[in-house]
Structure 1
């Protein structure tokens, strides 16, 4: 199902419903939904990112919907934060329980937005960077009041992930290391299993 996210910017998404759920309604009423945030749009990041799709497919098999969205026009991270928050607001209006997932830039955006979002069930961040465009994911971790999972790639030379992982461990958050590079080549299903396992525990 295609979704237009309200909020003043051109933000489009795809709602992947759980296996067996009807697809005809334009005003879905869902039990659980995870909002999935794509990588950096200037690097080609979109809702069709294979890691987002793999997580969405795994969630659907467990009865959880997934809203994958594209950011609006590039706005130095500020507009992208607004896009994320508006997508979460849409999810809250259509579901009983909402989780948040992001990959790379999307993971950083998710961690940085989470302290300002009420009612999140859990947040999963895959390969987060310390910060982009004035954001600080390390500091944001202290303000998140729901369970958080940080997954990182041991051979990641793209993201500045070490400060995020160190702070997550200091806060006794769920931290998982995967033997991969930043892009988790050939490991999308393994990533999806780790993410869905975390959400399963929190739901």
Structure 2
């Protein structure tokens, strides 16, 4: 693991697992105001699941900016990764799922990810993070993973739109936090990303 500073004008630090790989997954953490960070166990499970062939950049957002700055942080992390790796995937959990969807949509096919997986995505986190609308702008394979007992976020509109667009939707018997199921998250997300990077 190596610490990484993400350029872009905001104070964004990441941890790069297996930086010598040819491909990397950029992992967006959950809501920073509720303790979300790059050390989140679901992000670590995905990092472990894509090992040893694919690296993982887990990062912390810069100062709280109601979704706008956090989306920019993810865009900057994607740009950083695209400059260094042959293939770049993107993963986000909860708030980070909305951030990931919107960042990928904003960057488009030129600088966006080769594949995107999101876990427990809220339909609309803030005015700047419309996950459902972002799905319509994506031009890469997308996987949406939800917990069927998740009553923390409104994930159903995202799952329904993803299904209508022909994306992969996985439903797990879990709540929003996937308590005791981090390894299962890795088992579902890891192969999806590995096969496309």
TM-score bracket relative to the smaller structure: over 0.9
- Aligned partners of 2:42, 2:21: CA distance in 1, in Å? 23
Instruction: Describe the SS at the equivalent of 1:132.
Output: strand
Of 87, 102, 118, the match for 1:97: 87
Number of residue equivalences: 192
Query: Is this contact kept in 2: 1:137–1:164, CA < 8 A?
Result: yes
Partner of 1:25: none
Q: Are 2:8 and 1:10 equivalent residues in the alignment?
A: no
Partner of 1:81: 71
Query: Is this contact kept in 2: 1:127–1:161, CA < 8 A?
Result: yes
Computing the radius of gyration over CA atoms, which structure comes out larger, 1 or 2?
A: 1
Q: Are 2:173 and 1:179 equivalent residues in the alignment?
A: yes
Q: Are 2:137 and 1:143 equivalent residues in the alignment?
A: yes
Of 48, 61, 68, the match for 1:57: 48
Partner of 1:168: 162
CA RMSD of aligned residues (A): 1.1
Instruction: Describe the SS at the equivalent of 2:48.
Output: helix
- Aligned partners of 2:80, 2:22: CA distance in 1, in Å? 14
- Aligned partners of 1:174, 1:202: CA distance in 2, in Å? 13
CA positional deviation for 1:29: 5.7
- Aligned partners of 2:65, 2:130: CA distance in 1, in Å? 17
Partner of 1:20: none
Consecutive unaligned residues of structure 1, counting only runs of 5 or more, are: 18-27
Consecutive unaligned residues of structure 2, counting only runs of 5 or more, are: none
Partner of 2:118: 125
Of 72, 76, 80, the match for 2:62: 72
CA positional deviation for 1:113: 1.3
Instruction: Describe the SS at the equivalent of 1:177.
Output: strand
- Aligned partners of 1:16, 1:94: CA distance in 2, in Å? 14
Partner of 2:102: 112
- Aligned partners of 1:172, 1:115: CA distance in 2, in Å? 17
Deviation digits for residues 59-88 of structure 1 (CA, Å, limit 9, x no counterpart): 123x10000000000001110011000011
Normalising by structure 1, report the TM-score.
Answer: 0.92
- Aligned partners of 1:30, 1:5: CA distance in 2, in Å? 18
Deviation digits for residues 40-77 of structure 1 (CA, Å, limit 9, x no counterpart): 0000000000000111111123x100000000000011
